Amino acid sequence: MTIKNFCLSLFLISISFTSLAQTLVDDALRYTHTTFGGSARATGLGGAFTALGADLTSLSTNPAGLGFYRKSEFAIAPNLYFTRANADYLGTASNQNDLYFNVNSAGVVFSNTAIARGTGSRFRAFNFGFGFNRMQHYNGKVLFRGENEEHSISDYYAEQANGTTYYDLDDVDFFGSGMAWASYMIDLRNNDREDQYIGVANGSTVEQIQFMEDRRALDEYVFGFGANYDDRLYFGMGLNIPVMRYQHEVNYEERNVDNSISDFEELTLVETLDATGGSIKLNVGLTYRISEYLRIGGAFHFPQNYRILESYSTDMGVQFATSNEQVETRFGNFEYNLKAPAKALLGASVFLKKRGFITVDYELVNYSNLSFDFSNNGSAGDIAYASELNAAIKDSYKAVSSLRLGGELAIKKFRLRGGLGFFSNPYTNENLDGSRKHFSLGWGVREKGAFFDMAYVRSFHQTSLLPYDLETQVVESALINHNNGQLTFGFGVRF
C-alpha cells in the first residue's frame, strides 16, 4: 500500500479541516509541537524560564541554566492532568472529563564547583545533568453527537467508491469503501454501472455519535552541560532525545432514527492509530548577568529529524434487521521521516533584590518548515506525494510566537508564583484558530538541603472536528472547547 492510500484510510482517524492531505499535515504539527513542561517551579512561572536557572527544566529550554547550580541536586515532579472537552455538534451539546497521573520531570544534576575553583581561572562551576521532561500531553477524550437529516457516513464511502468497480474496491481503498462494500453500507446505484454507488442511509435521518480518546505524550530524555564564568556569563549545551508516543482511537456510531431506513439499524466503526517516533536534538544557550538586578538569556534548538512508525487498524460492524455484518479487522503500518523546525528563545529577568523577580520569555518557531520524507519507502509515487504534502504545509502553517510572563515573590523561605502564556495561531487560514493561552499559580518552600513546590496551570484552546468530509455536500464541524488543568508537585534534595 502506498502512503497516499494509507492517508485515505486514516481520513476518519485524523482531525480534518479541508482535505485529505490536511490530515497528515495536521499530524506533523501534533507530533512536533511542544508546550512548556518540566518542574513545578517552572510551570508555576508560566514557563517563562529562559533567563533563569538551577532547575531541571533548563535542560529542555536553555541549558545555560545548569551553570547556576552551586550544589548537586535530585528532583522529581509528579503531575495530575485534568481534561475537559465541551462539544457542540448539530445543535447538541456534550462534554467529557478525565484525570491522568504522570511524572512531569525527574533527574539529577552534578555540580563541580570545587573542580572549577581548582583550575585557578574565573570559572565558578562546571555542571552536568540528565533526566527527562514532559513537553506535551496527548491525553484527552472528546464526545460529540447529533441527529443528521442531510447525510451519513455511508455517503462518504459511496463518494470514495465512485469510479472504482466493486471488485477493485479492496485494492484501491482497503480500509474505507472496501469495508463499506463488504458490510453492505454501500450498494450499486443501479445494475447498469459497476462503479457508481449509493449509501444505505440515502438522505434519511441518522443519529451520529463519535467518541475519541488520545493517550501518551511527547517526552524529552535530556543530557546537558552548563558552566559559570565569573558569576557573569553562563553557557551550556544539551543533547536531548525526544520520544513521541501517540495513541488515538475513534469509536463512531450511526443509528437509524424512527425506523426511517429500511432494514438498517446501526453501524459501529472502530479505528485506532498508534504512532511512535524518536529523534536527537541539540540545544545551545547563553545567559548573561548584566547586574544583580538584570539577566538576559537566549537559546537555540537545532532542527531535528524524527523517524516515525504508525500502526493502524479498522473494524466495522453493521446491524440490519435481518442480519449482522462484521468485517474482519484490518491492520497496517508504515514508517517515514519528519523534519521538525528550529526554535529560538529569548528571555529577561528583573530581580527585586531578595524579594523576588519578574521574568519574560519570547519563543519563535516556523512551522511552515515542517517537512515529510518518504524516500526510505522507495516508491516514486510516495516521494512525489511527500512533495505534495510539504507544499501543503507551506500553504497551511506560518511562523508562530509564544509570549510567557512570570513572577515570584520571596517571603523568607516561602515562594509565591504566577504566570501567563500566549501561543499564537499557527494556521494561515484565518478561519482556523490554533492559538492557546494559559495561566498558572504556584508556591514553594526552600530549605538549605531540600525544597517543595506546587503549581497549578489552566490552559484553553479550541478545535474543529469533522466526522467525515463530502465533495457534494457541506459537512458541519463539531466545535470543541478544551479546558485543561495541571497540578504539579515538586520535590528535591541537594547534596
Please indicate whether residue 68 or residue 202 has the higher confidence score (pLDDT): 68
pLDDT value for 186? 96
Q: Is residue 383's pLDDT more than 90?
A: no
Range with lowest mean pLDDT among 6-15, 161-170, 237-246, 296-305: 6-15
Does a structural domain hold residue 421? yes
Nearest CA-CA partner of 56 in 302, 184, 236, 269: 236
Does a structural domain hold residue 189? no
Q: How many CA atoms lie within 13 A of 70 on its CB side?
A: 3
Does a structural domain hold residue 135? yes
In which region does residue 369 sit, left (phi positive, over 0), alpha (psi from -120 to 50) or beta (all else)?
alpha
Region 466-485: what's the mean pLDDT? 94
Query: What pTM, to 2 d.p., does this model score?
Result: 0.90
Does a structural domain hold residue 191? no
Look up the domain containing 400 and give its range. Answer: 3-152+201-494
Q: What grid cell was written down for 338?
A: 519528519
pLDDT value for 18? 36
Range with lowest mean pLDDT among 13-17, 52-56, 84-88, 416-420: 13-17
CATH number, domain containing residue 388: 2.40.160.60
pLDDT value for 16? 34
The Cα 186–Cα 200 span in angstroms is 6
Does a structural domain hold residue 415? yes
Residues 47-98: pLDDT tens digits?
999 999 999 999 999 999 999 999 999 999 999 999 999 999 999 999 999 9
Q: Over the chain, what is the mean pLDDT?
A: 92
**CB 470: neighbour CB atoms within 10 A?**
16
pLDDT value for 121? 78
Residues 274-309: pLDDT tens digits?
999 999 999 999 999 999 999 999 999 999 999 999
Does a structural domain hold residue 264? yes
Q: Is residue 15's pLDDT more than 70?
A: no
Q: Is residue 382's pLDDT more than 90?
A: no
Range with lowest mean pLDDT among 2-16, 101-115, 452-466: 2-16
Does a structural domain hold residue 171? no
Does a structural domain hold residue 469? yes
Total domains in the fold of the chain: 1
Please tell me which of 179-183, 329-333, 463-467 the model is most confident about, judged by mean pLDDT.
Answer: 179-183
Q: Which residues, in sequence order, are bridge partners of residue 342?
A: none
Q: Is residue 105's pLDDT more than 70?
A: yes
